[in-house]
Amino acid sequence: MATGKFLKGIVYGALIGGAIALFDKQTREGVFSKGKEIGDDVKELLTHPREKFQRFQDKVTFIKQSIEDMNDDLQFIMKQATQIKELGEETVQIIEETKEVFQKEKVESENQQH
């Protein structure tokens, strides 16, 4: 019972707040403008439902294709990142091996001089 009164209070408050907001000219014009826009959209939908549905379908197809393209791009980037990581690891290994060879040659050179 208390919940019903509370909900009624919320509804009445919203209606009163909405009515008071309409006293402001800008708000009133905005509400009427948006209402007309929605009315025009509904009228267009009712008079040309196939065209509206086709446009909607075209947008869905475009979005679906865009998502597939982004997925393909992401997979390509991930593959490239993996290759770069592997090249980096190989490069570090080559540098370490080169460093060891130079150190070994340096030690051998120093031993030959003594």
Could you read off the pLDDT of 47-75 as tens digits, one per residue? 988 998 999 999 999 999 999 999 999 99
Q: How many CB atoms lie within 10 A of CB 31?
A: 14
Rounded-to-10 torsion of CA 7, 10, 11, 16 = 160
Is the per-residue pLDDT at 110 higher than 80? no
Share of the chain above pLDDT 90, in %: 30
Return the pLDDT at 98: 87
Is the per-residue pLDDT at 80 higher than 70? yes
**Distance of alpha carbon 77 from alpha carbon 6, whole angstroms:** 55
Classify 24 as helix, strand or coil: coil
Instruction: Give the chain's length.
Output: 114
